[in-house]
Chain A
Amino acid sequence: MIKMWQCNPGAALAVMVLLGIVMAAIFAAWLTPHDWNAIGVTESLARPSMRHWFGADIFGRDLLSRVIAGGRYSISIGLLTLVLGLVSGSLLGMVLGYAGGRIDGWGSRFIDVMLGVPALVIAVMVVSIMGVGLFNVALAVAFAQLPHYARILRSATLVVRRRLFIEAAVAIGARSPSIILTHILPNIAPTLVVVATLNLGEAILATSTLSFLGLGAQPPTPEWGSMLSDGQEYMRYAPWMMFFPGLAIFLTVVCVNLIGNYLNQRLGGAGRRA
């Protein structure tokens, strides 16, 4: 940690802030000053004050409590999305990259087509088929991000596949699944880690976006995206309703990206260039 602070203070700060946000979310039940779903705790649209640091929403709910508790949903759904997308995407990428030939040709064209459609559009489509709700949003975002992972992991696999030890493994008669899991996966792991952290922020943003559109979290769940959307109507009179959930999303995504950059430098992975 100290070494990290010396060579990349930004990333070190990011780790601490993110840790703070995650801890607050985990221990929300003890940390929040009020029940985050209780209405009429104070007057509606109350300004930020000593008693209510972040003010209150139209229902008179304490916003500080809701922002803290909101991390539970926003971050965990972001993580779930990441895991789902990464596992399925990297599996697809590795198989295509390793198999090569016609399978790779068709698979890659399919990925190209998927990449041509904006991820948000795919996600909205999936949610409209499966119905609203946080879990469905996680599935939808994961599905939308899948081609992205598949493409990156495919190219990483292509590089590794040409290496001599793969040929050696083939020569001694190892089966393809075993080669993929025991030889290729460990070698592309650094790429995987970097891609994962860089995309976590994006996953959190995407889930928040869908909740903002009313497709994700259902009342009274204090998800950041849906809180942002609730505040829209009162922006003129109670900007704190949008400011604090927005700040939470912003901080989380920035922190995750800083850490991702740091890992990218350290592990020298072939992360996305964007």
Chain B
Amino acid sequence: MISRRQSLLWGAAALATSAAPVRRAHAAQGALTVRYGSAASDDHTYDPRITMMGTEEQIIVQVFDRLVAIDAANQVRPYLAKSWVVAEDFRSVSLQLREDVTFHDGTAFDAAAVKFTFDSIVDPATGSLGAIDVIGPYAGSDVLGSHTIRLRYRAPFPRMLSALADNKASIVSPTAARALGVTAFGHAPVGTGPFRFVSWTQGVEVVLERNPAYHWAPEFLPQQPPQAERVVHRFIPNTATRVAALDAGEIDICEQAPPLDVRRMTATPQYHSLIGNSLGVPYGFSLNTSRGRFADLAVRRAFMQSINRPWISDNLFFGIVKPAWGPLAASAPEYWSGVREYYPFDLAAAARLLAEAGWQPGADGIRQKDGQRLALFLPILLEPRIGVVLQADARKAGFDLKIEQVTHERQEELIFANDYDLLSLHWGLNDASVLEVPFLSTNVPAPGQFTFNWSRYRSAALDRLLRDAAASSGAQRLSGYAEIQKEIMDQALFLPIHEVAYNVVYSHHVAGLRLAHGNSQTLLAAATAAT
């Protein structure tokens, strides 16, 4: 049944369509081609075992399937595995696999393929960058039957099912992977997914075609081959060009459109959008506790209170990106809403904290103590615009924030030299254990070890909390992560700025798009031509 409002919308869409006959042509001929504009300039590999780039996963989620799926309500659903039994000690899981699944190369999907996939991820020769961290303390697999397998873990691993649902835990074809070798397989991936890999023109486009045999999607997706005949995945790194390509009808889906364009385009009936808050650590700044002004907790707290985050959200992102208040994305199940109470914008409170810490206003508005200025150094790599706001806001509280826009190399140099007071950070991962990346003591950077604990905070207590929470489940896990988030906020280690949103704006000629698990890719399996 179509409501009155919807029928009005359809009418408007029809009008718009007749005004743009050229755009409609490709969809009307029955053979739907979905053209996706990627923000990457090129990709390196489409081997799920190796990748660490979210943009590469946009192809991986179309070409590969996972053992289990997680639906929009965060429930684990059958996928390539029909059923499973998790051991009580969380050290193993037995899975019963589907028997009617074949890889694109014609070989059958079975327990041996699953074993091969996970064994090769932990094999150093594969050079896994992302999957190796995703699959946890994987110890090995026992093939119990042609389609029955048990995965074993060295330590209790309660989140094993969410790990198996991760895009990086996709199952690869052992035949193809063995025949091609690691590098070539990444350039010609073979999976069981709804689309088959056809070609990759470096820096230009990737072409996929429908897998006509596909009928093993998770139950919340259609149990049939995709309607789209082909997927053309074009690399258009320049944002303005990508938006213009969508406007001109050269692509159907544009990823990561700027907030102003999202607002403009979705205000018309010609475009729709999907916006998802990515899981992981939101965009923010690690405050260097190991040196200088930020060694003092009161100064860190004062700094955080001097930054007006809602203003950033309203003025730089036009409300499309939400402010972040804690070290974990608000969409994470483990998110602790208590972070909302911390460090609201309050210049008077910041001034009080600084005065108590001995920092008195100087002649030029910058606070001073014992002849030293309240100066901070921010080498900024991600989103330099935010640095400008930090600088202007913090100045009102008496901070002199010096900014340098840096390259990856320069940032690395400064990290090893411990020559910074704060650094921009964002980390996407579909699990709360992502907090280990920037907050575990062992992740403090050291010569030869490029790691991400840039606040350089070493606490045995926090380490223990992180390890315990990762090894627990249920309510215990939630309370564990709540305590961790509280500790991080109490210590003012990380200044969260905004949630990281993934968005696509797409033409109204396309329907049936949905966000992949983790909200950073778009599933094209159910894409249809809207008429």
A residues near B (Cβ < 8 Å) are: 37-40, 43-44, 58-60, 131-133, 214, 218-220, 232-237
Which of B235-277 touch A at CB < 8 Å?
239-240, 258, 260-261, 264
Interface size class of B (residues with CB under 8 A): 20 to 34
CB-based contact A214/B240 at 8 Å: no
Please state if B315 and A233 are interface contacts (CB–CB under 8 Å): no
Partner of B260 from the list A38, A218, A219, A237 (CB cut-off 8 Å) is: A237
A contact residues around B225 at 8 Å (CB)? none
Is there an interface contact between A59 and B260, defined as CB atoms closer than 8 Å? no
Interchain residue pairs with CB less than 8 A apart (28)? A39-B388, A40-B311, A40-B392, A44-B315, A44-B316, A58-B316, A58-B385, A59-B385, A59-B388, A59-B389, A59-B392, A132-B405, A133-B404, A214-B405, A218-B402, A218-B403, A218-B404, A219-B384, A219-B387, A220-B391, A220-B392, A233-B239, A233-B258, A234-B260, A236-B260, A236-B261, A237-B260, A237-B264
Contact B240 A233 (CB under 8 A): yes
- Contact: A58 with B315, CB < 8 Å? yes
**Is B258's CB under 8 angstroms from A38's CB?**
no
Chain A positions within 8 Å of B410 at CB level:
131
Residues of chain B within 8 A (CB-CB) of A60 are 315
In contact, A59 and B404 (Cβ under 8 angstroms): no
List B contacts of A214 (CB < 8 A): 405
Q: A237 — which chain B residues lie within 8 A by C-beta?
A: 260, 264
CB neighbors of A among B298-332 (8 A):
311, 315-316
Q: Is B384 touching A236 in the complex (CB atoms < 8 A)? A: no
Q: Which of A40, A218, A235, A236 lies in contact with B315, CB distance below 8 A?
A: A40
**B261 contacts across to A, CB distance below 8 A:** 236
Bound CA span A33–B316, Å: 23
Which residues from B are CB-within-8-Å of A233? 239-240, 258
Q: How far is the CA of A110 from the CA of B443 in the complex (A)?
A: 50
Known contacts A214-B405, A218-B404, then 14 further A-B pairs from the complex at CB < 8 Å, ordered by chain A residue = A39-B388, A39-B392, A40-B392, A43-B315, A44-B316, A58-B315, A58-B385, A59-B388, A60-B315, A218-B403, A220-B403, A233-B239, A234-B260, A236-B240
B254 to chain A minimum Cβ distance, whole angstroms, is 14
Q: Which residues of B contact A132 (CB under 8 A)?
A: 404-406
Q: Enumerate chain A residues within 8 angstroms of B239, measured Cβ to Cβ.
A: 233
Which of A44, A60, A220, A232 has most chain B Cβ within 10 Å? Answer: A220
A-facing mask of B372-406, CB < 8 A → 1, else 0? 00000000000011011101110000000011111
Pair B240/A218 contact, Cβ less than 8 Å: no
CA distance A16 to B508 in the complex (A): 56
Smallest CB separation, B262 vs chain A (Å): 12
- B393 / chain A contacts, CB cutoff of 8 Å: 39
Across the interface, which residues of B come within 8 angstroms of A39, CB to CB?
Answer: 388-389, 392-393
B263, closest chain A residue (CB): A237
A219-B240 in contact (CB<8A): no
Give the chain A neighbours of B391 by CB distance below 8 A: 219-220
Give the docked Cα–Cα distance between A144 and B239 (Å): 32
List B contacts of A43 (CB < 8 A): 315
In the bound complex, how far is the Cα of B410 from the Cα of A214, in angstroms?
Answer: 14
Residues of A within 8 A of B388 (CB): 39, 59, 219-220
Distance between A27 CB and nearest chain B CB, rounded to angstroms: 20
A131–B409 Cα distance when bound, in Å, is: 11
Q: Is the CB of B387 within 8 A of A235?
A: no
Please name all residues of chain A whose beta carbon is closer than 8 Å to the beta carbon of B240 when the two chains form the complex: 232-233, 235-236
Chain A residues with Cβ below 8 Å from B384 are: 219
Chain B residues, CB < 8 A from A40:
311, 315, 392
**Min CB distance, A215 to chain B, in Å?**
9
B403 touches A219 (CB 8 A): yes
Complex CA–CA separation, A38 to B385 (angstroms): 14
Cα of A136 to Cα of B239 in the assembled complex, Å: 30
Of chain B, the residue at the smallest CB distance from A230 is: B385
Cα A220 to Cα B392 with chains together (Å): 8
A218 to B260, CA, bound (A): 25
Closest chain-A Cβ to B378's Cβ sits at a distance in Å of: 10
Alpha-carbon distance between A220 and B261 when the two chains are bound, in angstroms: 26
Contacts of B264 in A (CB 8 A): 237
Give the Cβ gap from B361 to chain A, nearest Cβ, in Å. Answer: 18
Closest 8 pairs (CB-CB, A-B): A39-B392, A44-B315, A219-B388, A219-B403, A237-B260, A214-B405, A218-B403, A218-B404
Cα-based distance from A236 to B402 in the complex (angstroms)? 31
Q: Can you name the residue of chain A whose Cβ is closest to the Cβ of B243?
A: A236
For A238, the closest partner residue in chain B by CB is B260
Q: Are A37 and B260 in contact (CB under 8 A)?
A: no
Q: Which residue of A lies closest to B403 (CB)?
A: A219
C-alpha spacing A237/B318, complex, angstroms: 13
- Residue in B258, B260, B261, B387 with the greatest tally of chain A CB atoms within 10 Å: B260
- Residue contact B392 to A218, C-beta cutoff 8 Å: no
User: What A residues does B387 contact at CB under 8 A?
Assistant: 219
Query: Which partner residue on chain B sits nearest A131 by CB separation?
Result: B410
Inter-chain CA distance A237–B388, complex, in Å, is: 20
Question: How far is B311's CA from A147's CA once the two chains are assembled, in angstroms?
Answer: 50
